């Protein structure tokens, strides 16, 4: 599953901060996912977990929300680091620029950023913007290179230099998830617009959709209030370590976003509902052909056991894991999060939670 990888991610917590029980509210619309949520703590090893589901049964009906959490350490309005969900925002901006004819997805990196990508078999003259968006460029993931070292690139150009110290990870056209792709796309946005990608995201997405809990922090190391804590496990002794404060510049356009449960649901509902991209460009965003069905352009599908396909992205960064999934029309969305980096048995737990929400299946014991 796509993640912002090892540079900002430490291993899973060993010691839990208290299991807790699902917090039941007075909201009348309950879903099986509420009963499933405590498993992310009991089996997944997360200190606390929360989810927010939004349903809009029809275009004419008002949406309703269902919020659940597993304990007092995590709240509905909390700001948290959303990691690689940043990529969907960046991809949306790039598609909007394509719609404005300010760039084309067939443009090469070298056309827009001459000489940036050269060396060790990497050649920006052969890498298109579509290849960056779909993770088919072959560029090495700079976060993997920095794993386990104290030297962490804090600028986009430094991250690209780290990646270029390595040969391509796959042949041209092959899918290989790499955070470097979106760091380069951030530079493309700045080259085309004259503004950094954060400014364009605020202008084009955050402000129009009134995403009041969403921000791109730049060099700011703290989270805006209100927020909880983020924890990781110290690999040396297994103790809990608070990583709430961190330098997000290492993640950049690949994963610096801060958001809320409500804002992420609103964003994906608007995107899939056609409010941010016209139908032809939305179809382009959702086209998984380049990545052989695995990934679209900044968004990816997952087919559930009942046959329903949901669209969205996951985000992993030190102290936080979040996942948003939505139906193709954007009328049913779910965002869940835990306040640590990784879920044990995530390959089973996450599909189980999504099945419970979108297939209406009660969790099995």
341 vs 317: CA distance, rounded Å = 6
- Surface-to-core class of residue 300, CB atoms within 10 Å of its CB (0-12 exposed, 13-18 middle, 19+ buried): buried
Between CA 169 and CA 94 the distance in angstroms is: 24
DSSP secondary structure, 206-221, as one string: ITTTT-TT-B--TT--
Q: Residue 35: which H helix or E strand, with range?
A: helix 32-36
CA 8 and chain centroid, separation: 14
Residue with tokens 């597993």: 70
Token pair in block for residue 154 = 């804090």
What is the C-alpha separation between 292 and 179, in angstroms, rounded?
19
Please pick, among 25, 60, 69, 84, the residue that the annotation labels catalytic.
84
Contacts of 20 (CB under 8 A, 6+ apart): 38, 41, 48, 69, 70, 71, 72, 73
Least Cα distance to 255 among 156, 145, 109, 130 occurs for 156
* Distance, C-alpha 342 to centroid of its chain: 14
240: CB partners within 8 A, 6+ apart: 13, 14, 15, 17, 231, 232, 233, 234
Contacts of 347 by beta carbon, 8 Å cutoff, 6+ apart:
1
**Residues 330-362, buried b or exposed e (16+ Cβ, 10 A)?**
bbbbbbbbbbbbbbeebeebbebbbbbbbeebe
Q: How far from chain centre, in Å, is Cα 21?
A: 27
Task: Assign 277 to helix, strand or coil.
Answer: coil
Q: Is 25 a catalytic residue?
A: no
Q: Give Cα 212 distance to the centre of its chain.
A: 18
Active site residues: 84
């Amino acid at each position: 599953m796509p993640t912002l990888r090892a540079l900002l991610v430490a291993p899973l917590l060993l010691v839990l901060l208290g299991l807790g029980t699902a917090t039941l509210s007075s909201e009348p619309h309950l879903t099986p996912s509420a009963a499933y949520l405590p498993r992310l703590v009991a089996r997944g090893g997360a200190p606390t977990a929360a989810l927010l589901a939004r349903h809009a049964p029809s275009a004419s009906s008002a949406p309703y929300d269902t919020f659940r959490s597993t304990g007092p350490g995590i709240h509905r309005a909390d700001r948290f680091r959303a990691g690689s969900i940043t990529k969907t925002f960046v991809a949306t901006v790039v598609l909007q620029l394509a719609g404005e004819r300010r760039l084309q997805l067939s443009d090469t990196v070298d056309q827009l950023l001459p000489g940036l990508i050269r060396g060790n078999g990497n050649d920006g003259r052969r890498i298109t913007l579509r290849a960056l968006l779909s993770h088919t460029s072959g560029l090495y993931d700079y976060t993997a290179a920095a794993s386990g070292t104290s030297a962490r690139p804090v600028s986009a150009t430094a991250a690209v230099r780290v990646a270029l110290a390595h040969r391509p990870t796959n042949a041209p056209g092959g899918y290989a998830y790499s955070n470097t792709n979106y760091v380069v796309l951030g530079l493309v946005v700045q080259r085309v617009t004259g503004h950094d990608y954060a400014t364009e995201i605020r202008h084009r997405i955050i402000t129009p959709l009134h995403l009041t809990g969403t921000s791109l922090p730049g060099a700011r190391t703290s989270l805006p209030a209100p927020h909880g804590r983020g924890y990781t496990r110290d690999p040396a002794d297994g103790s809990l370590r608070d990583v709430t404060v961190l330098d997000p510049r290492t993640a950049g356009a690949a994963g610096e976003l801060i958001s809320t449960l409500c804002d992420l649901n609103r964003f994906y509902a608007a995107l899939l509902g056609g409010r941010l991209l016209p139908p032809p460009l939305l179809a382009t965003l959702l086209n998984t052909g380049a990545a052989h069905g695995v990934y679209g352009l900044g968004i990816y599908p997952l087919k559930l056991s009942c046959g329903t396909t949901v669209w969205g992205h996951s985000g992993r960064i030190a102290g936080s894991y979040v996942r948003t999934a939505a139906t193709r029309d954007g009328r049913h969305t779910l965002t869940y999060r835990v306040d640590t980096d990784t879920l044990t048995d995530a390959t089973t737990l996450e599909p189980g939670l999504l099945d419970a929400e979108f297939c209406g299946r009660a969790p099995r014991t």
